[in-house]
A = this chain, B = another copy of it.
Amino acid sequence: MRQASTILSFETPGRGVTEITRTLAGWLAETGLSEGLLTLLCRHTSASLLIQENAAREVRTDLADWLDRLAPEGRHYAHDDEGPDDMPAHLKAVLTGVTLQIPVIGGRMALGTWQGIYLAEHRAMPHHRQIAVHLIGE
């Protein structure tokens, strides 16, 4: 049994999701482990991680719009000194979550056919984001 870990960096284009499945699969292949558990932690409080549909692009648009409706910008937040998009970004990060775990079976992440792993940027502007990645297995 063996472990591997790293910090991966991503540049986001601002509000919306970026698929990171392929980057993770590449790192996984480099470790040489074929059975185990992959864990991801987004190291930010206004970006997050989620697993969703990798086929229809409209699903991602609808998702971003829905998050805007659930956590709208507005004058009702006490925390407003980092811009109107900041507090909604924290709330969206809480709703979607910052950690994910994926079993690795037969050398591959055990995702379903239509599942992709996404880094969700909740701030309006582009950001540099880090994800801590951990793998334990053999």
Interface residues of chain A, those whose CB is within 8 Å of chain B, are 1, 3, 5, 7, 35-37, 39, 41-45, 50-53, 56, 58-59, 61-63, 65-66, 70-71, 76-79, 81, 87, 90-91, 93-103, 105, 110-115, 130, 132-134, 136-138
Q: Give Cα A138 to B8, complex, Å.
A: 22
Judge whether A52 and B93 touch: CB under 8 Å.
yes
From the candidates B3, B51, B87, B134, name the one contacting A98 in the complex (CB within 8 A): B51
Cross-chain contact B39 with A58 (CB below 8 angstroms): no
One of B71, B105, B112, B133 near A45 (C-beta < 8 A): B112
A94 close to B94 (CB less than 8 A): no
Contact partner of A137 (CB less than 8 A), chosen from B3, B87, B91, B97, is B3
- Counted per complex, copies of this chain come to 3
Q: How far is it, in angstroms, between the C-alpha of A61 and the C-alpha of B78 when the chains are bound? A: 8
Closest chain B residue to A39, Cβ basis: B101
Contact status A59-B133, CB under 8 Å: no
In angstroms, Cα B90 to Cα A58, docked, is 11
Check B136 against A44 for contact (C-beta < 8 Å).
no
B87 and A59 contact, CB distance less than 8 A: yes
Q: Closest residue to A130 on the B side, CB-wise?
A: B112
CA distance A137 to B39 in the complex (A): 13
